[in-house]
Amino acid sequence: MSSILPAWANEVVARYESGSAGCFVLHGNVDDRFYLPGKNSSLGNLSEFLSDVLLPRFDVVLTYDLGGGVEVERGKEVFSTWPSLKNEVQLPTQPLKASRFLGRYLTYVRNLRHVGAKAPKVAIILKGAHLMCPSLPNALNYDLHALASVWQSWASEANLASHGQAVFLLSENLTGLHPLVANHPSVADIEVPLPSTEELTGVMETLAPTCAKAVSSITGRLPWAAARLRGATGSAVEDLLLRRHYDDKPLVEDDFSALKKQLVERDCAGLIEFVEPDRSLDGVIGLDTAKEWLKLDLDLWRRDELEAMPMGYLFCGPVGTGKTYLAECLAGEAGVPVVTLKNFRDRWVGSTEANLEKIFSLLHALGRCMVFIDEADQALGKRAAGSGDSGVSSRVYSMIAKEMSNPRNRGKLVWILASSRPDLIEVDLKRPGRIDVKIPIFPATEPSEALLLLRALSGKRGLKLHDEEWEKLTPLLPELLTPGGAEALAVKAIRLVKTKTHEPFDAMEHILSSSLPPVPFETLKAQMRLAVKEATESEFVPPTVLDILEG
């Protein structure tokens, strides 16, 4: 296993040794397991990684968390020489008292340096900082603000590094931390991302001796296995290997797609749905012009011509036209996973923003992927805060807009928005640089299209008719048939066949004669007009659509 530090740890070292920062907020994947190099290579938590890997030359390492209070992780003998310690019956457990206590020790050590005495190098690690000092807008909680003020004073101290001191605040997210701390110019906020392929390889190599049964079939292919699990946490991979070893069940190649989905979704606690599509654009019926455009974009992607790649797509059109299916087929054609954002909104203050931070961290770890947001007009929030939501909607809007337009994501994250009401999506979110290509998707406008659609969806369910029978049914085909509508008709017909009340032809004839349109024509046409207005290329709009809308 390589002992090369992760990029975020190198940034901490560079900021500290250059003297530009001595107080750090480490946020993101802070609850994971990390490789600890040394005589007995092992895995440990972030606090252990900091103490053993980044702070080996520090004489005293103190930690604090709400459950355990203040602990002396290293240098008990040195720490015990502090005169003020004699007045403490027990080390304080409450956040404010503990922080003031630790602050006094930092001051004592600095004073030793000032008088020329030998002073130890001291590091403080506060675990769960977002729980101790959360961001509570408009809260009149003086203890909370006092705690933020104490931490702020540590960061403001003239060059902590020059005094041989360092402070680490570990937080699950940055938005959930008190703004006096999170936004302070002297605090270096550094994201701890999900592990890279190299780091996951290290986790698997470390565990291989104790989980030999689990890795027996991939012993010489651990980097390959790690790449297939990219996006999972180190702790999730550790749990997987330990359980597989216990069950005497080796990992095999066919396991990895399902395992990655399972691990990623578990780590994100229901915030996303992770799909590795097995479809391609060839499975999309119609949309020939749009498919050709998308295939050319994917060719650019494969050739790493990233500057010519769009940042995102908008698929717009009436309900039931297959916008989600097209997104999955596009991702399947590209050979990348699709991450679908689920309900990331929460009623607790700061939780929604924290959920988004977690999702973005996952997206960055996956490498190339597509992000699908269905019903984008509802999910993406609004620039103006809604009444009664404490500004959550506008903050969600701001965070997503910033991420969508981040130039570093071009060619890595492709955003796909889907909506039947694109007019309700904020204009700024649809602008070039966020959404570069808008593709309208329409119902079948000609009998031949409708017939092709219904035949394909009926055939998938085992209802097959002869060409002559389909020809007889053509006059009964509904106007403006959508894939969703065709699927509903096929299901109804196969139901009649399975219940043994009709033969296949009679079942389809009965359904086409008796079914009412699932969506009123006026609604379909209104949504088609909206899609036409959004289209970025005139060639995306067939002449037949214009004829129907003008008729």
Phi, psi of 203 (to 5 degrees): -60, -45
Tokens 């651990």 locate to 222
Q: How confident is the model at residue 1 (pLDDT cuts 50, 70, 90)?
A: very low
CA 448-452-453 angle, 5° bins: 115
Question: What does the pLDDT read at residue 2?
Answer: 46
- Stated as kind and residue range, the H or E segment containing 548 is helix 543-550
Phi and psi dihedrals of 59, rounded to 5? -75, -35
User: What does DSSP say about strands 312-316 and 69-74: parallel, antiparallel, or unpaired?
Assistant: unpaired
Distance CA 416, CA 401 (A): 13
Q: What whole-number percentage of the chain has pLDDT above 70? A: 96
Which residues does residue 391 pair with via DSSP β-bridges, in sequence order?
none
Write down the pLDDT at residue 386: 55
Q: Which two tokens stand for residue 345?
A: 């909104």
**Neighbouring residues of 291: CB distance < 8 A, sequence distance ≥ 6:** 281, 284
Q: Tell me the average pLDDT across 304-331.
A: 91
- Judge whether 208 and 41 are in contact, CB under 8 Å: no
Taking 80 as the threshold, does the pLDDT of residue 337 lie above it?
yes
**Average pLDDT estimate for 496-500:** 90
User: What's the mean pLDDT in 417-446?
Assistant: 92
> Is residue 242 packed enough to be buried (19+ CB in 10 Å), middle (13-18) or exposed (0-12)?
middle
- Facing residues of 444 across strands? 481
Question: Distance (Å, rounded) from C-alpha 154 to C-alpha 163?
Answer: 12
Q: What is the pLDDT of residue 523?
A: 92
- The residue that leads in pLDDT, 297 or 501, is 297
Position 460 pLDDT exceeds 70:
yes
**151-210 confidence digits (pLDDT tens):** 999 988 767 888 899 999 999 888 889 988 999 999 999 999 999 899 999 899 999 999
Parallel/antiparallel/unpaired status of strands 69-74 and 60-65: antiparallel
Phi, then psi, of 124 in degrees rounded to 5 = -120, 130
Query: Residue 384: what pLDDT?
Result: 66
pLDDT value for 5: 85
* Whole-Å CA distances, 175 to 135, 179, 184, 374: 7, 8, 13, 25
Mean pLDDT, rounded, for 256-273: 80
Which H helix or E strand runs over 227? Answer: helix 222-228
Per the model's pLDDT, the better-predicted residue between 86 and 65 turns out to be 65
Residue 510 predicted with pLDDT over 70? yes
Q: Alpha-carbon distance 419 to 507, whole Å? A: 33
Q: What is the pTM of this model?
A: 0.76
Decide if 528 contacts 442 (C-beta within 8 A): yes
CB atoms within 10 A of CB 241: 22
Query: Percent of the chain at pLDDT above 90?
Result: 54
Q: HSE on the CB side for 242, CA within 13 Å?
A: 8
| Model pLDDT, residue 46 | 95
Q: Strand order in 338-341's β-sheet? A: 272-275, 338-341, 369-373, 413-419, 312-316, 437-440
How long is the chain? 551
Q: Tell me what the mean pLDDT of segment 273-286 comes to.
A: 85
User: How far is it, in rounded angstroms, from Cα 177 to Cα 25?
Assistant: 9
C-alpha 480, offset from chain centre: 37
Residue 357 confidence class, pLDDT cut points 50, 70, 90: confident
Least confident of 214-228, 274-288, 372-386, 461-475: 372-386
Model confidence pLDDT, tens digit, residues 86-129 = 877 788 889 999 999 999 999 999 999 888 899 999 999 999 99
Q: Give CA–CA dist 332/326, Å, rounded.
A: 10
CATH fold, domain 275-440, is: Rossmann fold (3.40.50)
CATH 3.40.50.850 applies to domain 7-192: no
pLDDT band at 396 (very low <50, low <70, confident <90, very high): confident
Phi and psi at 439, nearest 5°, equal -110, 115
